[in-house]
């Protein structure tokens, strides 16, 4: 029974959000979720389109692969030149 009393005591110390705070925070979460889903959907649609174009023209895939490799090499070398202290 002491556990339940301690839990109740701790819950009484909690500062609970007001109704207005809950509504505002819920609104923020919903807006951020909506924007994130739209951005991810757009990225997915663009990558699908790019893949369809690449299937029709192999040169697109070769150029994209080369760009990714060059970008990865640049990124990895750029990270190694920074000081570690």
User: Is 83's pLDDT higher than 80?
Assistant: no
Nearest Cα to 42, choosing from 67, 72, 34? Answer: 34
Asked whether the beta carbons of 61 and 54 are under 8 A apart, the reply is: yes
Per-residue CA distances from 31 to 17, 23, 44 (Å) = 20, 12, 20
**Mean pLDDT, residues 48-53 taken together:** 86
pTM value > 0.85:
no
Per-residue pLDDT band for 33 (boundaries 50, 70, 90) equals very high
**Mean pLDDT, residues 37-50 taken together:** 95
User: Is 45's pLDDT higher than 90?
Assistant: yes
């Amino acid at each position: 029974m002491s556990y339940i009393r301690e839990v109740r005591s701790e819950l009484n110390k909690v500062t609970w959000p007001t109704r207005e705070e809950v509504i505002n925070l819920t609104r923020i979460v919903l807006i951020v979720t909506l924007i994130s889903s739209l951005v991810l959907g757009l990225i997915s649609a663009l990558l699908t389109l790019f893949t369809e174009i690449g299937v029709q023209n192999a040169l697109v895939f070769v150029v994209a692969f080369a760009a990714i490799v060059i970008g990865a090499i640049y990124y990895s070398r750029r990270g190694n030149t920074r000081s570690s202290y």
